[in-house]
Structure 1
């Protein structure tokens, strides 16, 4: 396909599409991003960039810019509060929500950041636009595409009605819940639709964040019966968001009156925008047809409660990008591309289950007039409410087990597990190096993370001076597979990986570990996504 416009054509310039473009250009591949809007989004949507996404931001060199553009001042408490009104004493405080407190932790290299999705999109868009290997076409939409023997031919249309053809070996639908790519592929979404309808107002409330007596937090769940809602700071310039269950036909003024009751004091409010949105619990019945793939909201839709949506799409992009790069580089087996759906569907299902449970317990579920009263009876009611809130909402705000503890099983690009790993618990993360798990994180020194030492391709971790892996490395490199040998203290390797030899994939997941140097052919099969046996031992070699 000599007349190609790009190696990968990406439909959709949101976080998923831009992350895919970032990852692919980093691997030397040409991309063309087609986005129907004239710019990146302006609605807040996601507000939490979780620790897993921040680890990717670290690889992309974007952490300083993300921190700089966060609207939260230094010292702002990263917590979620449940209150009767905005200025009432908290009934419950979930401290260090989403692991967003600015402190170093052993489990991950970067704490989460609270920042509007449109700001993240802007940062990624600037990154992609600066890449010589990237072309971004804002104001263009996909009309149709067809697969040929060596790629796809897509027809796109600009705002002026002009059409043109674009050619690439692969096309990716990262174009959201109403995906044109998914529609053209004939892939259906399965699950439950229209679970709950919300309205979000974007408000400018001058001086509110500095008001005396305001318990500051990321999210304020208001449990006053006539004002059940969620409110919180969104961006610089006194911008706040206010969300509550409401149908699209409810007048904005009615919702604004509820916001005033939730705040509980006289304030000046300017309505900047309104966003009506519906919660679904849907999963595509396929992620791939031939040379076309789906990623992000194009293949999964779920409640935003828990802060997983944008982050899940970026995770899709990272998984898919290195596999596409491998296929374009000529060293991937067909199973490697198929492994994208095998692996990511497992994470999607776990997140959808958790997010659906989260949206089942809203402010309305805990609202009671007595919570705003005084006296022994009211105190007892608040104590009981606090216990119930913690029981139902802890998985929403403390979900490190889900964010980092997910694992890939039955994948042709992962060695069979050599033991049963720890159970997946939403709020409890236990680092584990069983094949399929995210490589356990640890610090080499005060500033260097083990992740900083991984290569852009595969990384073979070997004890210092213990084994000669030159023959294995030569065999792997002969196939074109990128491989870095990382030698570390053997005691350190054993402490964190429980094996002296570990193969880590480009996406930082453990592909294989063992006690002895394996036969080259077997390791190469795993790297190419061609592992055939589901029962062969992974650690006894």
Structure 2
């Protein structure tokens, strides 16, 4: 990511602090909803901490809504061809002396549940694509620029930004913070939150080296180093010449200062098992596997998302995908409030819906701190915790808002609070998912036996009464694979309908209050 300072804004609806997948996605989603923003990030894109190489299905669905799915799939295809099957797992005292660890193939629920596929793509490359698209769409993104101070009043936030061009002041109606390291925000919010203690502490090294002589017959995604001179984990980053080594250390005996660059280079050679390998250390830092979820996601005009709201170990790729889902929930609400179409209290539903998701994902990641549990291999040490893994899809897709008695569902069948069910719709040469006809505003989905004219009149009245974007989409049985496909998938009676929020979650059902006569009241309550 290259530093870029656009013309300074004196006033902007939203200031985003922090790039990465959640921050850049927030920018793209605000563009989708027609909201101007400025995004600042104090870094230039390089991070030594472990990053995800998976784009969860729900994330791909959201990118599809933004018109980005195909370009992300191209990034994934290039990565997949480059890795040439190197997703194996190894274990041993050094990389050279490691052996294959047999793991069962991972299965994902069938494609019939979603219009998209699970993608393998390095987070760095995925983020760069999102940056490029945000700029193509006219976004104001400023890297190497930091939020160094801010004040808040009844009308917004006044922020001091410091970057290569000096210091500027920006007034924003709202501030979204996804950078968990930002000092002014940390001072304002404090660090109180729900926590799980760290079970490992690492010195991360990100380095460049030609290991083709030793790794070509030892391809791997992760190599656990145990029983040798270096305890930790080695991971291939680009499957060519960039690697990461996570060195376990005891913080009671050592600190980051005990690991200068020269020592890290020697430890890399030792971990590889080749004293003569040329190593270029790109960056190194300390991190641990603890989890934390903020007690507050909002304070006045300041809202937290991504790593500013929650931190968890990298296993399973939950962090960036969870952060993207955070801002998908938040941005449509923010757009409605900024447009004067919703009450400010709508923003309080953001934390109510997303905070518990973060705790569940943190618990799932914490189980995978155990190397064998990460790959579903049961051992005497991890048997109890392994049984608590619910899996990626319930955590990230098959969850339910507003129903504490049922946090996850077995099947997405139009339950209120769940992601709208997917079926394919074919009209002429066009093939769309039911997800594709939802957004950017509210959508009423009806079937062939519904009073379509009555719904169209009700939707027009609701638009006039609320000022919100509300549409009706009639699902013709001629467009579905079987006549009853939509009713069966959504669990609706004949003539039934669903009301879907801008983030593709079901707000109401016709067999549970929703009707043309109640539409206005339901939407008004939802955005009050």
TM-score exceeds 0.5: yes
Contact 1:157 1:164 survives alignment (8 Å): yes
Tell me by how many angstroms 1:31 deviates.
0.6
Corresponding residue of 1:123: 129
Question: For the residues of structure 2 that align with 1:231 and 1:430, how far apart are their CA atoms?
Answer: 37
Corresponding residue of 1:139: 144
Question: For the residues of structure 2 that align with 1:531 and 1:325, how far apart are their CA atoms?
Answer: 11
Match of 1:208 among 194, 202, 212: 212
Match of 1:245 among 248, 267, 274: 248
Which digits, 9 at most, give the CA deviation of each residue in 1:74-98, with x for residues without a partner?
A: 784485525336575533324247x
Contact 1:193 1:280 survives alignment (8 Å): yes
Which digits, 9 at most, give the CA deviation of each residue in 1:100-144, with x for residues without a partner?
A: xxx971223333333332222211211222223x32223322233
Question: 471-480 or 387-396: which moved more?
Answer: 387-396
Corresponding residue of 2:442: 458
Question: For the residues of structure 2 that align with 1:74 and 1:159, how far apart are their CA atoms?
Answer: 36
Q: How does 1:127-276 map to 2 (within 5 A)?
A: 127-132=133-138, 134-159=139-164, 162-178=166-182, 180-186=184-190, 188-192=192-196, 195-206=199-210, 208=212, 213-214=217-218, 216-224=219-227, 226-235=229-238, 237-246=240-249, 248=256, 249-250=258-259, 263=272, 268-273=277-282, 274-276=284-286
Contact 1:179 1:298 survives alignment (8 Å): no
Contact 2:306 2:323 survives alignment (8 Å): yes
Residue 14 (1) aligns with residue 24 (2)? no
Contact 2:147 2:182 survives alignment (8 Å): no
Contact 1:152 1:167 survives alignment (8 Å): yes
Contact 1:54 1:63 survives alignment (8 Å): yes
Contact 1:187 1:286 survives alignment (8 Å): no
Q: Would the alpha carbon gap of residues 94 and 43 (structure 1) be closer, same or farther in structure 2, given more than 3 Å must change?
A: farther
Which digits, 9 at most, give the CA deviation of each residue in 1:472-492, with x for residues without a partner?
A: 212221112212222223722
Q: Would the alpha carbon gap of residues 290 and 92 (structure 1) be closer, same or farther in structure 2, given more than 3 Å must change?
A: same
Corresponding residue of 2:468: 481
Tell me by how many angstroms 1:166 deviates.
1.0
Contact 2:423 2:485 survives alignment (8 Å): no
Question: For the residues of structure 1 that align with 2:321 and 2:22, how far apart are their CA atoms?
Answer: 9
TM-score normalized by structure 2? 0.81
Contact 1:76 1:217 survives alignment (8 Å): no
Corresponding residue of 2:401: 408
Secondary structure, aligned partner of 2:396: helix
Question: For the residues of structure 2 that align with 1:92 and 1:258, how far apart are their CA atoms?
Answer: 27
- Segments of structure 1 that go 5 or more residues without pairing to the other structure are 367-382, 411-416, 533-541
The CA RMSD measured in Å over matched residues stands at: 3.6
Which digits, 9 at most, give the CA deviation of each residue in 1:364-421, with x for residues without a partner?
A: x99xxxxxxxxxxxxxxxx9966877875687795222121222116xxxxxx9xx65
Corresponding residue of 2:487: 494
Question: For the residues of structure 1 that align with 2:232 and 2:190, how far apart are their CA atoms?
Answer: 38
Tell me by how many angstroms 1:22 deviates.
0.5
Tell me by how many angstroms 1:239 deviates.
1.7
Secondary structure, aligned partner of 2:72: helix
Secondary structure, aligned partner of 2:125: helix
Residue 83 (1) aligns with residue 91 (2)? yes
Tell me by how many angstroms 1:511 deviates.
1.1
Residue 441 (1) aligns with residue 403 (2)? no
Question: For the residues of structure 1 that align with 2:10 and 2:244, how far apart are their CA atoms?
Answer: 44
Corresponding residue of 1:281: 291
Contact 1:80 1:95 survives alignment (8 Å): no
Which digits, 9 at most, give the CA deviation of each residue in 1:8-62, with x for residues without a partner?
A: 111222222211110001111111112223x333436322222221222222233
Question: For the residues of structure 2 that align with 1:385 and 1:200, how far apart are their CA atoms?
Answer: 27
Question: 336-345 or 497-506: which moved more?
Answer: 497-506
Match of 2:321 among 311, 314, 327: 311
Q: Would the alpha carbon gap of residues 341 and 232 (structure 1) be closer, same or farther in structure 2, given more than 3 Å must change?
A: same
Tell me by how many angstroms 1:345 deviates.
0.8
Contact 2:49 2:204 survives alignment (8 Å): no
Tell me by how many angstroms 1:344 deviates.
0.6
Which digits, 9 at most, give the CA deviation of each residue in 1:438-458, with x for residues without a partner?
A: 223333369633322223111
Residue 5 (1) aligns with residue 11 (2)? yes
Corresponding residue of 1:431: 412
Tell me by how many angstroms 1:529 deviates.
5.1
Q: Would the alpha carbon gap of residues 212 and 312 (structure 1) be closer, same or farther in structure 2, given more than 3 Å must change?
A: closer
Q: Would the alpha carbon gap of residues 75 and 310 (structure 1) be closer, same or farther in structure 2, given more than 3 Å must change?
A: closer
Question: For the residues of structure 1 that align with 2:83 and 2:361, how far apart are their CA atoms?
Answer: 30
Question: For the residues of structure 2 that align with 1:510 and 1:95, how far apart are their CA atoms?
Answer: 33
Match of 1:321 among 331, 338, 345: 331
